[in-house]
Amino acid sequence: MRGRPRPGSRQGQRQPAKGPAREIELVIDKLGSEGVGVARLDGRPVLVPGSLPGEQVRVRVMGGAADLLDVIAPSPSRIEPACRHFGTCGGCALQHLAWQPYLDFKRDLVVDALRRQGLADVPVEAVAPSPPESRRRATLEAKRTSGGVLLGFHARASHQIVDLGECPVLLPDLARLLPSLRTLLATLLLPGGSATVLLGQGPGGIDLGLALAAAPDLEQLERLTAFADAQDLARLWWRVGDMAPVPAAQRRPLGHRFGDVPVEPPAGGFLQATADGEAALTAEVVAALAGAERVADLFAGCGTFGLALGARALLHAVEGDAAALGALTAAARRAGLGFVSTERRDLDARPLLAAELRRFDAVLFDPPRAGAKAQVEQLAKSTVPRVIGVSCNPATFARDARILVDGGYHLERVLPVDQFVWSPHVELVGRFRRT
Ligand SMILES: C[S@@+](CC[C@H](N)C(=O)[O-])C[C@H]1O[C@@H](n2cnc3c(N)ncnc32)[C@H](O)[C@@H]1O
């Protein structure tokens, strides 16, 4: 059986050729960390998007990259992609891989990152998956062209926008909104103008944010309000550049709850990407914190994990973003959680020092992709018995884990969690105990 790549896929997105292009056959060795097949040619790696390990392929090679022309001997794990945009859209890399090998690939990303830091013996659990059609948070790009508004993710390795006619990653309500959103954007954008669209969905409905080049005029503002009513959105807001988000419609709460605590996240604020992912991460964090009485939640956001502890522990939540911390503080106050204290602090510039950490019997950290090096260096010097790390980047997590292990912690187990279905991203929770 021969598999033909989709027409147009990956064409025109390669780096400039180094030397003349040539057509050859290769056998794919492995999937690289970006979910792209890697073969070797003349002792050098060649990246072949759309290929799978073990496959014999015909490619057009240009420098270190190649266009897949034909799959001569397909992998038994090759399946039909779920979406017509697969191969062009940069949102997904792995729809052509069967589910179990796909989950194994994600687990291997975590295992490999730990191994590179000399932590090969750490038990890594099976991945906690999120199904297709479960993403409740996504950032799309929009551009008004002479042919209409393009709305979607960037094409792979390109700034071109793939105009999405479907998206099996998003929650169905979000995917269904796209056609009417295109019509709205046609009235907001100047010819050639661009915007970023921040989609979110909670139990209470859709949260739509528009990052625009210029503030809407009065007529456009009325259109935004009418759109929120017509589409029954929970919330619609806009912003220009770095300015604070401006509400255009606040029709009802988004309805998020962390544990039993209702929380209204700020416009544009961080939330875990799927409800399944949040549930898996939270269950692991809450289990790891069982019995702890004084807990620090560092990089707390609006309280996903800390508030889920409810009355189980005295909580000190530390976060750099004022709006997120405001939402957490307001939620704790409304719920009568008088034992929750909050602190706004830049944990890279001013981490909690080892002496300040002494009062906690467990510390949770959940930093952005860059990791928590400065904070972890203080934890490594501390006496805190239990540390739990949540991460969206196995490489920086493994680096931080190495610091903790060198400081006398044992990394007991790691749970990988998949929230970005068919992408090469994976999240995780790691449990450390002072030895
Ligand atoms: C991955 S999010 C996690 C948020 C929260 N734990 C959750 O699960 O919803 C990382 C959080 O770290 C915050 N943050 C980023 N850099 C920071 C810094 N230098 N100091 C403190 N907080 C920071 C962000 O505002 C964001 O809320």
How many Å apart are CA 3 and CA 5, to the nearest integer?
A: 6
- For the chain, the domains span 1-78, 102-129+258-434, 137-202+205-250
Q: Is the pLDDT of residue 219 over 50?
A: yes
Q: Ligand 1 in contact with 350 (CB < 6 A)?
A: no
Residue 327: phi and psi, rounded to 5, are: -65, -40
- Per-residue b/e over 307-316, b at no fewer than 16 CB within 10 Å? bbbeeebbbb
Q: Residue 283 C-alpha to ligand 1 middle, in angstroms?
A: 19
How many Å apart are CA 222 and CA 214, to the nearest integer?
A: 16
Q: Identify the bridge partners of residue 409 per DSSP, sorted by sequence position.
A: 434
Q: How far is CA 390 from CA 184, 210, 248, 316, 326, in A?
A: 38, 29, 34, 17, 22
Q: Ligand 1 in contact with 320 (CB < 6 A)?
A: yes
Q: Is the pLDDT of residue 260 over 60?
A: yes
Q: Ligand 1 in contact with 272 (CB < 6 A)?
A: yes
Q: What's the full length of the chain, in residues?
A: 435
Q: What is the pLDDT of residue 6?
A: 46
Ligand 1 atom with least separation from CA of 347: 20
Residue 243: phi and psi, rounded to 5, are: -65, 160
How many Å apart are CA 288 and CA 297, to the nearest integer?
A: 13
**89 catalytic per annotation:** no
Domains 1-78 and 102-129+258-434 share a fold: no
Candidate from 57-71, 243-257, 392-406 with smallest mean pLDDT = 57-71
Per-residue model confidence as pLDDT tens digits over 357-374: 999 999 999 999 999 999
Number of DSSP helices (H) and strands (E) in the chain, helices first: 8, 21
Q: Which one, of 400, 407, 421, 408, lies nearest residue 430 by Cα?
A: 400
**Burial class for 283, CB neighbours closer than 10 Å (0-12, 13-18, 19+):** middle
Q: 1-78 adopts what CATH topology?
A: OB fold (Dihydrolipoamide Acetyltransferase, E2P) (2.40.50)
Per-residue model confidence as pLDDT tens digits over 373-421: 999 999 999 999 999 999 999 999 999 999 999 999 999 999 999 999 9
* Segments of 171-289 assigned E as strands: 194-202, 205-212, 235-240, 246-250, 256-258, 261-263
For residue 312, give the DSSP letter: G
User: What is 102-129+258-434's CATH number?
Assistant: 3.40.50.150
Give the residue-averaged pLDDT of 255-282. Answer: 97
CA angle, 11 as apex, 8 and 15 as ends, to 5°?
165
Q: Return the amino acid letter for 323.
A: A
Residue 99's Cβ-side half-sphere holds a number of Cα atoms within 13 Å equal to: 7
Q: Would you state the structure tokens that stand for residue 114, as one six-digit string?
A: 């730990």
User: What is 137-202+205-250's CATH number?
Assistant: 2.40.50.1070
Which single residue is written with the structure tokens 């999120």?
130
* Residues in the annotated binding site: 272, 299, 319, 366
Q: What is the pLDDT of residue 12?
A: 35
Which single residue is written with the structure tokens 């793939």?
162
Ligand 1 atom with least separation from CA of 349: 19
